[in-house]
Structure 1
């Protein structure tokens, strides 16, 4: 089988020159979303019990805001779109009574902070 390029062209380059590596790939940050979760308060348990369970679970690192209300606690999770499957699976298995709310894109103002 014959070569399509001549071998002599490679030998013409001096060995002492360093090669400059250029990377044309610019990594884009993954899109992030806010997921609102409502933790209902049962009369037989303390108000912060479910919140404590959530914060001590692997999802605790995603919690960015909490709001205590009369009958429930609202929690806002900041997650990457790629982590949505893991988040929902873990949330359902950890807190089956939790109500999953709307999924919203994170605003540009929140990215600037």
Structure 2
């Protein structure tokens, strides 16, 4: 016995993948902030550095060097963190001398 209304056959085909657009993630520009930890002795400068490293700013420290009787610290910060950085730096190490804020390039501190 033949069916009067046969069921039509459907073929299921997987969709063809679309080529993905190249997406480049945007990074916020970073900046270098040079800070000099002034002290009478190298031991005192190292104590100021220890206070800075144990503060919330410790994660921003990119480079340190003892230069002419002071500890030079280079902070790698985001521009939107400048207010927080200044407030925390003054509270953590009031003896610090805050230097120039420069855009970050490929080389540290240059």
TM-score (norm 2): 0.70
Q: Match of 1:64?
A: 62
The runs of at least 4 consecutive aligned structure 1 residues that moved more than 3 Å come to: none
| Residue 106 (1) aligns with residue 96 (2) | no
In 1, distance between residues paired with 2:83 and 2:44? Answer: 29
Query: 1:32 & 1:88 partners in 2: Cα distance?
Result: 16
Which secondary structure state, in structure 2, belongs to the residue aligned with residue 48 of structure 1? Answer: helix
What corresponds to 1:55 in structure 2?
53
Q: Which structure 1 segments of 5+ residues have no match? A: 1-24
Q: What do you get for the CA RMSD once the two structures are aligned? A: 2.4
Q: Give the deviation of 1:28 after TM superposition.
A: 1.9
Aligned match for 1:46, one of 44, 47, 50: 44
CA distance in 2, matches of 1:97, 1:57: 15
- Which whole-Å deviations, capped at 9, do the CAs of 1:3-50 have from their partners, x for residues lacking one? xxxxxxxxxxxxxxxxxxxxxx9752111000000000135x634100
- Counterpart contact for 2:37–2:45, Cα < 8 Å: no
Task: State TM-score, norm by structure 1.
Answer: 0.68
d(CA) in 2 for partners of 1:104 and 1:86? 17
Alignment of 1:1-113 (within 5 A): 28-43=26-41, 46-108=44-106
User: Which whole-Å deviations, capped at 9, do the CAs of 1:69-98 have from their partners, x for residues lacking one?
Assistant: 231000000000011110000001111110
